[in-house]
Structure formats: structure tokens, C-alpha cells
Amino acid sequence: LVNNAGIQRISPIEAFDPADFRRIIALMLEAPFLLIRAALPHMYANGFGRIINVSSVHGIRASPFKSAYVSAKHGLEGLSKVTALEGGEHGVTSNCVNPGYVRTPL
């Protein structure tokens, strides 16, 4: 399973639209959680599985005006670690790939 979805909104916290914050968290953190949750029983049954979550340097560091993106990527890092701890005894690994800064339309 490879989770690689991302959207961005740049705004200071005091002006950040809560609906945009929720949408970013839903796409970049809740969706991977739901996909992992759906895939794990099958991986456990096979005694093998690989989960790769595409995070970001923002999963390790923070940048101003990116509260939702940074929060989602930090959450994805934690989710990946918990999944690795729970899945290890079933032959399932979970890791994050953390690309550095990339100039994209995000």
C-alpha cells in the first residue's frame, strides 16, 4: 500500500479557514488511516505486507503559514510508526518516505 496524496493551503493560523484545515487533515491523514485499516487484515492473513507513506520534510520540520500541511505530515509520521509497531509481529512493515523541498504547484 502506498499513500501519496497531498494538497496545500498557505495562510497564517489566525486566517486559516477551519474547513480547509479539516479537508487537508482528512485527505492527508484520515484517508491513509482508513486505507491502512482496510489493508491490514489482508496483510495479516498473508503474513506479509508493506506500507509506504509519502510524507515530507514537513513531517519532521515546520514552516510558517502551513499549519494544516505540517500537522497532517507530523500525524502521518506517527501513524506510520504505530502501524510498524502493531504490524511487525504479523510481517507488516510501515515506513515514511520524506522528500525534501520540491517546487510543485501545491
pLDDT tens for 39-74 read 999 999 999 999 999 999 999 999 999 999 999 999
Question: In the chain, what's the furthest Cα-to-Cα distance?
Answer: 48
| Residue 99, pLDDT score | 87
Residue located via cell numbers 519532521: 60
What residue spans define the domains of the chain? 16-97
Residue 55 vs residues 49, 58, 90: alpha-carbon distances, Å: 19, 8, 24
The C-alpha atoms of residue 18 and residue 92 are separated, in whole angstroms, by 35
pTM above 0.95, yes or no: no
**pLDDT at residue 106 tops 70:** no
Torsion-angle region of 47 (φ positive above 0: left; ψ -120 to 50: alpha; else: beta)? left
Residue located via cell numbers 499549519: 67
Neighbours of 28 (CB within 10 A): 26
Mean pLDDT of 32-37: 99
Class of domain 16-97: alpha beta
Q: Which residues are catalytic?
A: 69
pLDDT tens for 69-103 read 999 999 999 999 999 999 999 999 999 999 887 77
